[in-house]
Chains A and B, each alone.
Chain A
Amino acid sequence: MSITVSNISKSYKNVKALQNISFEVKPGELFGLIGPDGAGKTTLFRVLTTLLVANEGSATVAGFDVVEEYKNIRNSVGYMPGKFSLYQDLTVEENLNFFATIFGTTIEENYDLIKDIYVQIEPFKDRRAGKLSGGMKQKLALCCALIHKPKVLFLDEPTTGVDPVSRKEFWEMLKRLQQKDITILVSTPYMDEAALCDRIALIQDGKILEIDTPKAIVKHYPKQIYNVRATNMYQLIYSLKKYEHNHSVYPFGEVVHYTDSRTDFNPKDLKLYLESNDLNNVEIEKTVATIEDTFMELAK
């Protein structure tokens, strides 16, 4: 296993940041930690990258214990923190050189690994890191995390605040890195990115809600979900929440995802109810669960 986490707990004063977390990541796997701000994702990254000691439990990374063998881990992993942590006053090239030197290597030695990414920022190699755009900073940070050819790569919310085009490019880069035998643990608050991972752990309030492949997780959703539309969204949500048989009512863009508490639910009854509440153009159709539906059902 590239990463093993066994019964890890960590508290800050009276905040339980991690509560009895256990999971494993296989070599070469792209594993996603999916959860909102405050779920405990960053605390877990800090424990695994040996920057923080857990209160309970044990963990290994690349075969090394996070407490006993922390120095070996630091040589074997790359870590891209959520907050941009490179030297703003150094240029692109100076930053990269700095990180290579610290790890006793050179840019040339592992250039192959970062080439795809580095060529995109190379035209700006004399620019100070602090003056780069968000997308370029992210690419430089990834290069710096990779320059010593780590076995395991930790990426804490690499796509937060990044536009959809850069996000897509970033995930394409991760897929290519994975083919170079690097194990990747990545966290994100965006449920739509979950589908791009091999396996995911859904995490909230320091607890893991579920671990599985993205496909299996949506398959486990216990109910039939219906898309409900009507002309007035506000009235629609209000009426659905008032409906005595509702199990869940969640707006999803231009539709509402509705589940019913009864086993013999007939959408026609719901349509009649909504129409009797002065809603127009009511449409109800079956739909399939998304990761977000599953997350909300588990977090309820």
Chain B
Amino acid sequence: MNNNKVIQVEGLTKMFGDFTAVNAITFEVEKGEIFGFLGANGAGKTTAMKMLIGISKPTSGEANVAGFDVFTHAEDIKKNIGYMSQKFALYDDLTVKENITFFGGIYGLSRKIIKEKSDVLIAELGLEKVANQLVGSLPLGWKQKLSFSVSLLHDPKIVFLDEPTGGVDPITRRQFWEMIYKASNQGTTVFVTTHYMDEAEYCDRVSIMVNGKIEALDTPKKLKKQFNAATMNDVFLKLARG
């Protein structure tokens, strides 16, 4: 595998009975890239992502993620990626520190490393005063920033973000994107699924799925030019409405 390609997908397909949820998608993502994975509700984004993170076996095709084959080494993939979703992120009834310790343990880090990482992370996010408070009592924006940091605890090659910033206030959202840029700048690949087109504008490259197929893939700038559209929202509407 080319070391700079951390995700390589060719002809990846998933069928449920007669229904083709993901129809022979092909793409590559480079090290440190922020890759937006877009599509309407039901276009096949979630199914595709489940295959990439090793929790759903493809029907056919090939995929290599973080250096491992999704058919034969799904467990290794799970250890080498981070995952964050808005729906499930952290345990509300554990404290900030307990959440970090818990996820560090899950990822197999030693107590010593967890302690070190925990201190750095809490300082970076300015959470010293609430480190022993339950996560449930924190504002949504803080939770999301914490959740993103936790998904990076084990220095994964790729972090998968599933609709990360819906509902957050605009200032916090930007702080969140600044964290994403920082991770990307340090070489972590960021794979973002979203159907919010303004999130798409932040990505280096964007793919758009329609009915199980990738119908467009390029930088936001080039896609806007290709579809003669002012925003990614307009690009999306043109593609999805045909």
Contact of B170 among A36, A233, A253 (CB under 8 A): A36
Let me know if B127 is at the binding interface, CB within 8 A: no
In the complex, how many angstroms separate the beta carbon of B32 from the nearest chain A beta carbon? 10
Q: What A residues does B182 contact at CB under 8 A?
A: 234
Is B178 touching A251 in the complex (CB atoms < 8 A)?
yes
Is B41 touching A164 in the complex (CB atoms < 8 A)?
no
A positions within 8 Å CB-CB of B: 35-39, 133-135, 160-166, 168, 189-192, 204, 232-235, 237, 250-254, 292, 295-296, 299-300
- Decide if the interface of chain B is mainly helix, strand, loop or mixed: helix
In the complex, how many angstroms separate the beta carbon of B124 from the nearest chain A beta carbon? 14
Let me know if B71 is at the binding interface, CB within 8 A: no
- The answer to whether A204 and B169 touch (CB under 8 A), given A234-B184, A251-B178, is yes
Contact of A164 among B170, B177, B184, B195 (CB under 8 A): B195
Q: What A residues does B170 contact at CB under 8 A?
A: 36, 191, 250, 292, 295-296, 299
Let me know if B171 is at the binding interface, CB within 8 A: yes
Q: Give A169 to B122 CA distance when docked, in angstroms.
A: 43
Is B177 touching A234 in the complex (CB atoms < 8 A)?
no
- The answer to whether A164 and B168 touch (CB under 8 A), given A234-B182, A250-B174, is no
- Decide if the interface of chain A is mainly helix, strand, loop or mixed: mixed
- The answer to whether A165 and B167 touch (CB under 8 A), given A38-B139, A133-B42, is no
B positions within 8 Å CB-CB of A: 39-42, 139-141, 166-172, 174, 177-178, 181-182, 184-185, 195-198, 200-202, 220-221, 232-233, 236-237, 240-241
Q: Give A203 to B170 CA distance when docked, in angstroms.
A: 12
Is A253 touching B201 in the complex (CB atoms < 8 A)?
yes
Is A163 touching B181 in the complex (CB atoms < 8 A)?
no
Is A253 touching B41 in the complex (CB atoms < 8 A)?
no
Q: What A residues does B200 contact at CB under 8 A?
A: 253
User: Lowest 6 A-B CB distances belong to which pairs?
Assistant: A253-B201, A36-B169, A234-B185, A234-B181, A163-B40, A37-B167
Is B171 touching A166 in the complex (CB atoms < 8 A)?
no
Is A37 touching B202 in the complex (CB atoms < 8 A)?
no
- The answer to whether A237 and B237 touch (CB under 8 A), given A160-B167, A254-B201, is no
Is B174 touching A254 in the complex (CB atoms < 8 A)?
no
Contact of A134 among B41, B172, B196 (CB under 8 A): B41
Is A251 touching B202 in the complex (CB atoms < 8 A)?
yes
Add 4 more A-B contacts to A191-B170, A253-B220, A254-B201 (CB < 8 A): A35-B169, A189-B168, A232-B185, A235-B185
